[in-house]
A = this chain, B = another copy of it.
Amino acid sequence: MSDDHHPGAETAGKSRPAATVAAVRAAVAGHAPDFLADLRDWVSIPSISADSRHHADVVESARWLAEALRRDGWPLVEVWDTTSAGPMLPAVHACWPAEDPDAPVVLVYAHHDVQPVDPVTAWDHPPFEAVLVGDELFGRGVSDDKGQVLMHLLALRAHLDATGRTAPAVTVKLLVEGEEESASPNLARLLADHADALACDLVVVSDTQLLGRDTPSVCVGMRGLADAEVVFHGAASDLHSGQFGGAVVNPAVALAKLLAALHDDDGRVAIPGFYDDVRDPDPAERAAFARLPFDEAAWLAGPGAGASAWGEAGWSTLERLWVRPTVEVNGVHSGYTGPGVKTVVPRQATAKLTFRLVPGQRVARVLDLLRDFVAARTPHGVRSEVRTGRGGFDPAVVEPGDPATGAVVDALRMVFDHDIVPARSGGSGPAALLTDALGAPLVFLGAGLSGDHVHAPNERVAVPLLHRGAEAAAVLWDLLPGRLARAGGGTEEHTA
């Protein structure tokens, strides 16, 4: 498993320090068995942040990670389980200062909480007993995001081993959150509380996927996320459908009409003003997407088996996932849903909605537009309510020509020995929040795959890609001092 010697690695290109890649690769290979054992061990802790019955497991997961960091020699390791506003599920912070006090400071962001596993019967293996099948490890969190966290521990060991240094070429800070799968409700406060400790010159988000094993890619944008629950209230209680049906407004029918009106016939979101702030991708980026070897049939044959491609007219599937905003109905509930028949007019109907946002859009604005839309479409006889969450993520985007992203592309090209194509993430995370709060540019360095079944049963990760990701990070720490102007952060937290 650990020996995925790459035949191209020795053929040095003009900008590739081949010896360093080879040394890094050898170091990664040496640590690979420990890396796999660690990941299996950590995955056994069901750190589901959405489920309060598992909050003790999230605490245990943070403790596990802090212990692993200390064992690896990270000079500073802290578990943060409160903000100035109150308790939170613990985040882990670590820092390994550079030899050179003037070296750039990078902050790696990732998370150690995981998604729920229901329906657990749909898993081929128990989700918290990771199983290796071929070169893929199956288990909840192996890809999203514990595998990508441990990738950075492996990277730093390899970076030091390969160079013989005792400290990295850049100061590496980690922030591994425990609430990301719950939309990071305390992250903004945490970033403000620890502004000094987290000060940095670059944010590295490691929670994304590569396009394919044979299509290494660099993520240059992540969609935002806004969530809301729409409730339509009718009578004070469920009504007998024989004594009221047909003569009063049925909230389930009224809500269905609202949901049916979310999209027009061309698959565009029909909420007035929804596209006003959208910045369309430029033609060059669209042309680059069109050249990607995206296999729609393979995409649908994975977790999407049984589904059919559909979406906004005039855009490809990849564009619909990466650069177009959406509204999705995640859940609907109304009235009686048990076995058999219950002849009621439901007293209320509820829909859970999430939006994926693209550059130009903002969470707060989109939720305002939704409120207007619901108010305008609430029929007489129904009282409507729009409940919104505490957070949401604004969209994040980086320019392919950005120097830091250029360094990531170079690092990836060196370890994959392959052209690196630009890609985006259809998913969401607090990337915009991090870059805004810390005032530092952003890059994405992820090593999952889009077919990893994240958030679904049978989550998996290709172990060799985590090795490649670790190699890329180890190389990147070497590349950055020459690429990145050091603008801030650095010394004060070395002694924090």
A interface vs B, CB < 8 Å?
50, 115-116, 122, 182-183, 223, 225, 227, 233-250, 252-253, 255-263, 300, 303-312, 317, 320-321, 324-326, 328-337, 339-347, 349-352, 354, 356, 379-383, 389, 425-428, 450, 454-457
Find out whether the CB atom of B330 lies under 8 angstroms from the CB atom of A426.
no
A330 touches B346 (CB 8 A): yes
Q: Is the CB of A306 within 8 A of B236?
A: yes
A233-B306, A311-B247 given as contacts; is B456 within 8 A of A238 (CB)? yes
Q: Does more than half of chain A's interface fall in helix, strand or loop, or is it mixed?
A: loop
A331 to B215, CA, bound (A): 45
**Whole-angstrom CA separation of A324 from B300 in the bound complex:** 46
Closest chain B residue to A263, Cβ basis: B253
Given contacts A233-B306, A252-B331, A329-B252, whether A337 and B356 have CB atoms under 8 Å apart is no
Indicate whether A240 sits within 8 Å of B454 (C-beta atoms), given known contacts A248-B309, A310-B381, A352-B337. yes
Number of copies: 2
- A306 proximity list for chain B (CB < 8 A): 233-236, 347, 383
A304 near B244: Cβ-Cβ < 8 Å: yes
Asked if B241 and A330 make an inter-chain contact with CB atoms under 8 angstroms apart, the answer reads yes
16 more CB-based (< 8 A) A-B contacts, given A245-B354, A308-B380: A50-B341, A115-B342, A235-B307, A236-B306, A242-B428, A244-B304, A244-B307, A246-B312, A247-B317, A248-B300, A248-B307, A248-B309, A248-B311, A256-B257, A310-B379, A329-B335
- Asked whether, in the complex, the Cβ of B326 is within 8 Å of the Cβ of A330, the reply is no
Q: How far is the CA of A255 from the CA of B334 in the complex (A)?
A: 13
Q: Contact at B456–A240, with CB atoms within 8 Å? A: yes
CA distance A260 to B250 in the complex (A): 11
CB-defined A-B contacts under 8 Å, sample of 24: A234-B307, A235-B305, A235-B306, A236-B305, A241-B330, A241-B356, A244-B303, A244-B321, A246-B311, A246-B325, A246-B426, A247-B320, A248-B311, A253-B260, A253-B262, A256-B260, A257-B259, A306-B347, A307-B381, A330-B345, A331-B334, A332-B334, A335-B352, A337-B352
Which chain B residue shows the least CB distance to A122?
A: B237
* Chain B residue at minimum C-beta to C-beta distance from A352: B336
Q: How far is the CB of A388 from chain B (nearest CB, A)?
A: 10
| Complex CA distance for A249 and B304, rounded to whole angstroms | 11
Contact between A249 and B308 (Cβ–Cβ < 8 Å)?
Answer: yes
Instruction: Please name all residues of chain B whose beta carbon is closer than 8 Å to the beta carbon of A246 when the two chains form the complex.
Output: 311-312, 320-321, 324-326, 328, 356, 426
In the assembled complex, the Cα of A380 lies from the Cα of B307 at a distance in Å of 9
**In contact, B332 and A425 (Cβ under 8 angstroms):** no
Q: Are A427 and B242 in contact (CB under 8 A)?
A: yes
A457: chain B residues within 8 A (beta carbon): 237
Choose among B253, B341, B354 the residue that contacts A182 (Cβ–Cβ < 8 A): B341
List residues of chain B with CB within 8 A of the CB of A233. Answer: 306
CB distance from A122 to the nearest CB of B (A): 6
Task: Give the residue name and chain of the B residue nearest to A427 (CB).
Answer: B242
A392 to B366, CA, bound (A): 46
Q: A450 to B239: give the CA distance in the assembly, Å.
A: 12
A247 touches B349 (CB 8 A): no
Say whether A337 contacts B341, CB under 8 Å.
no
Using Cβ atoms and an 8 Å threshold, which residues of chain B touch A320? 246-247
| Contact assessment for B241 and A354 in the assembled complex, using a CB-CB cutoff below 8 Å | yes
Q: How far is the CB of A397 from chain B (nearest CB, A)?
A: 15
